[in-house]
Amino acid sequence: MKFTIDREALLRPLQLIAGVVERRQTMPILSNACVRVSEDGGLTIAGTDLSMELVAHVDSVDVAVGGEITTSAHKLADIWRSLPEGAKISFETDGEQAVMRSGRSRFTLATLPVNDYPSGDQAAGTVEFTLTTEDACELIDRVSFAMAQQDVRYFLNGMLLEVTSEHVRSVSTDGHRLAQCTLDKGVEGAQRHQAIVPRKTVVELRRLLDGEEGEAQFSLSENQIRVARGAFSLTGKLIDGRFPDYERVIPRDPPLSLSGDKNTLNQALQRARILTNEKFPGVKLMIEGEQMTIVANNPEQEEAREEVPVAYEGDNMQLGFNVGYLQDVLRAVGSETIRISMAEPGSSALMEGEGDESALYVVMPMKI
Amino acid sequence: MNQQLLPFTAQEGRTFANYVVGGNGDLVDRLVRPDDGFAALWLWGPPASGKSHLAHAACHWQVGRGAKVAYVPLASTPEDPEVLHGLAGYDLVALDDLQHWLGRLELERALMGLYQGLVARGHRLLVVAQRPAAALGFALDDLGSRLRAASSWEVRELDDAGKGLVLADRARRRGLEVPPPVLDFWFARRERTLSRLLDDFERLDRAAWNEQRRLTVPLLKKVLDL
């Protein structure tokens, strides 16, 4: 195998593949990326962690001898990143080694045969749809913070993607709060299809969607998600499990409602947070007329008190919340004004940006 | 301050899909068998033997076949003959806890009216009570004789293995597992009626959420004070 390639042509593929491939491996071949070149000038590079696989195609490579090889994904990515911009790199195999030369640099890496490289099965998609990268990013960015991390209820460690003939929707929850983003761009004729995408796949998918605007083709099957974007495709296993019935926990038109300026509230919470208990960062919200007083205490009996104007008509009330949960929502909300509503003090709080129809958030309070 | 949980688990549907059949296989077969014309079934058994679950499941199953059904929990329904008004138009009427309405003439007359209406339309009646019809006293002899003629089925309580399956199934639906040693420990130390075990389970589920833990013997000891 022998070819020459511009540094920039393979830089982004290698960076994405390095995200997928785990640094620590029990099977040496899983640390490797699989590189295939054919004499018509096509190069394919793939990386996997067995739960997902990322494949990139590069055209117009100057190939002298075709072939295929696997070698360390992270070392390749590190070499590519540290070579100067505009560098040309020649890559050739020499026995069981791969040799890269660029200018006055030379690297010799160990290789393993391609035969042993795990290749992902491609299941036929049952639902297929195309989103702009902007829409796809919105689905992820507005809900990903509420995914659970290493929860014993494994189906929470990911993001639900739901497709119907009316919408494409993302939902995440860790049992304390829930985030939902809905795009009114249904898939014609689609039955309600739900897929739970594992946390790591969500992160890598988001990286794949970065950069120039374009389109991404989604394909969901019973146990697999495949997303193709330009020369890249990401195929991942889905989490096998039933996502909680999220619609049940979203309050419908709760009567108690207050609204305020998002940034003012966020800044006040940020300051109050300094004096919360680190382990349980709870704040008390006291709403009296048109004023919300935020009170934070820590075990040292120190106190922070912030006053924020709000629009509210109703009896005085006291609420308790994890300040981090409130701030996560405020960061994800698109509009300037946040509306918080609930059925009664102490019940779940529905948080929405005013005029921002696509996302909603439900945050459970803390018992004061 | 205590973080509250999203109420995902407020009420689970009671269907055949999450019913552990145990010794009630023939009864389940009977409940899903189509009838030509009127049929009356009388289900009886002790508290927490799964009677209401079966009645709900039968209704749910019929709804899935396009039937119009009514489930009336008489124990928590106002004792007013009007409640039954118009129900004869439903393809299946399930009356749960019938014993609560017996012994009062005006209520039994309303039941009798419903019965006759269902007969006339060829619709089905499913009665649930704690005892067989023959062991209950009726104020209205006509109603008594008709209901004693209904097809009578004793709902058999699950054995421990069956209860273990119920708990394991519920746990699985919530994303948890009950390992066999945990189940053995639990059964050896707690009252093993299904309703008590399910109450225990709800407390364990809540603790598992709050403490981010699996169902283990130490968690059981802590939550159930064992």
Both A203 and A262 in a single domain? no
Cα distances (angstroms) measured from residue B225 to each of A314, B172, B192, B214: 42, 24, 16, 17
Contact A5, A41 (CB under 8 A): no
Q: Tokens standing for A330? A: 């405020």
Residue that terminates a domain, selected from A64, A91, A116: A116
Please give the residue range of the domain that contains residue A163: 127-248
A248 vs B8, B173, B208: nearest CB: B8
Q: How far is residue B18's CA from residue B29's CA, in Å, rounded to a whole number?
A: 15
Taking an 8 Å cut-off on Cβ atoms, the answer to whether A320 and B176 are in contact is no
Q: How far is CA B101 from CA A260, B129, B217, in A?
A: 54, 11, 44
Q: Which of A220, A248, A276 is the last residue of a domain?
A: A248
Confidence band (pLDDT; 50, 70, 90) for B195? confident
Q: Across the interface, which of A152, A245, A364 has its CB nearest the CB of B3?
A: A364
Domain tally, chain A:
3
A294 phi and psi angles, rounded to 5 deg: -100, 125
pLDDT at B201: 94
- B15 contacts in chain A (CB < 8 Å): none
Q: Calculate ∠ Cα A299-A305-A307, nearest 5°.
A: 155
Task: Tell me whether residue A317 is in a domain.
Answer: yes
Specify whether A241 is located in the same domain as A274. no
d(CA A237, CA A317): 46
Is the same domain home to A88 and A67? Answer: yes
DSSP assignment string, A275-288: TS-SSS-EEEEEEE
- Whether residue A133 sits in one domain with residue A112: no
CB of A42 closer than 8 Å to CB of A219: no
Counting one residue from chain A and one from chain B, the pairs whose CB atoms sit within 8 A come to 58
Give the pLDDT band of residue A242 (cuts 50, 70, 90): confident
Tokens (6 digits) for B64:
């899935």
Average pLDDT over residues A155-181: 96
Q: Which residue of B has its CA nearest to A177?
A: B6
Q: Report the pLDDT averaged over residues A32-43.
A: 95
Inform me whether the C-beta atom of residue A154 falls under 8 Å from chain B C-beta atoms: yes
Residues A220 and A268 in one domain: no
- Give the residue among B129, B106, B127 at the shortest CA–CA distance from B45: B129
Q: How many angstroms separate the CA atoms of B2 and A27, rounded? A: 44
Examine the domain organization and report whether A134 and A231 are in the same domain. yes
pLDDT tens sequence across B20-45: 999 999 999 999 998 888 999 999 99
**CA distance readout (Å), A368 to A276, A283, A321:** 14, 9, 9
B84-130 pLDDT, tens per residue? 999 999 999 999 999 999 999 999 999 999 999 999 999 999 999 99
The interface residues of chain B toward chain A in range 9-48, judged by CB-CB distance below 8 A, are 10
* Within-domain flag for A347: yes
Cα separation of A368 and B69, whole Å? 44
A248:B7 CB<8 A: yes
Q: Out of A156, A320, A362, whose CB is closest to B1?
A: A320
Predicted TM-score (pTM) of this structure: 0.82
Q: For chain A, give the percent of residues with pLDDT over 90.
A: 88
Q: Residue A242's closest chain B neighbor by CA?
A: B173
Torsion of CA A55, A57, A58, A59, to 10 degrees: 170
**CATH superfamily to which B16-154 belongs:** P-loop containing nucleotide triphosphate hydrolases (3.40.50.300)
Out of B1, B4, B174, closest to residue A153 by CB: B174
Q: Is A344 on the interface with B (CB under 8 A)?
A: no
Judge if A152 and A239 occupy the same domain.
yes
pLDDT at residue B11 is higher than 70: no
Confidence of residue A166 (pLDDT cuts 50, 70, 90): very high
Q: Is the pLDDT of residue A82 over 90?
A: yes
Based on the fold, state whether residues A244 and A255 are members of the same structural domain.
Answer: no
Touching check for A248 and chain B: CB below 8 Å? yes
Domain annotation covers residue A86? yes
* pLDDT of A241 strictly over 90: no
Alpha carbon separation from A113 to A53, A67, A117, A119, B163 (Å, rounded): 18, 11, 7, 13, 53
**Which of A325, B203, B63 has its CA nearest to residue B55?**
B63
Domain termination residue (choose one: A224, A248, A272): A248
Q: Is residue A368 part of a domain?
A: no
> CB-based contact (8 Å) between A153 and chain B?
yes
Give the strand pairing for A317-322 and A88-94. unpaired
Determine the pLDDT at residue A127.
93
Determine, for residues A368 and B1 on separate chains, whether the beta-carbon distance falls below 8 Å.
Answer: yes
At residue B31, the pLDDT reads: 94
Across the interface, of B4, B10, B214, the residue whose CB is closest to A365 is: B4
Tell me the C-alpha distance between A252 and A341, whole Å. 10
Mean pLDDT across chain A: 94
The tally of CA atoms less than 13 A away on the side-chain side of residue A272 is: 27
- B5/A175 touch (CB, cutoff 8 Å), yes or no: yes
Which residue out of A151, A152, A174, A347 would a mutagenesis test of the B interface target, given it has the greatest number of B Cβ atoms within 10 Å? A152
Task: Encode pLDDT of B148-192 as tens digits.
Answer: 999 999 999 999 999 999 999 889 888 899 999 999 999 999 998
Strands (E), chain B: 2-3, 39-44, 69-73, 92-96, 124-129, 151-154
Query: Do A367 and B1 lie within an 8 Å CB cutoff?
Result: yes
Look at A333-337, A357-361, B10-14 and tell me which has the smallest mean pLDDT.
B10-14
Asked if the structure places residue A121 within a domain, the reply is: no
- Residues in B closer than 8 angstroms to A242, CB to CB, are 173
Nearest to A151 among B5, B6, B212 (CB): B212
Nearest to A227 by CA among A8, A52, A14, A12: A52
Of the candidates A366, A311, A368, A367, the residue with the CA atom closest to the CA atom of residue A341: A311
> How much is the average pLDDT of A208-237?
94
Asked if residue A177 is part of any domain, the answer here is yes
Q: Report the alpha-carbon distance of residue A177 to residue A363 in Å, rounded.
A: 4
A75 vs B211: CA distance, rounded Å: 40
B10 to chain A: which residues are within 8 Å by CB?
248
pLDDT confidence band for B10 (50 / 70 / 90): low
**Tokens standing for residue A158:** 């990911």
Residue located via tokens 């830089």: A11
Spell out the residues 6+ positions from residue B177 whose beta carbon is closer than 8 angstroms to its own: B168, B171, B214, B215
Tell whether A240 and A255 lie within a shared domain: no
Q: State whether B8 and A176 contact (CB < 8 Å).
A: no
CATH number for the domain that contains residue A318: 3.10.150.10
B212 touches chain A (CB under 8 A): yes
User: Does residue B19 register a pLDDT over 70?
Assistant: yes
Same domain, A205 and A306: no
- Whether residue A270 is found in the same domain as residue A222: no
> Are both A111 and A34 inside the same structural domain?
yes
Query: Is the distance from CB of A328 to CB of A347 less than 8 angstroms?
Result: no
Residue entry with tokens 């918080």: A340
So where are chain B's domains? 16-154, 160-223
* Cβ neighbours of B107 (radius 10 Å): 21
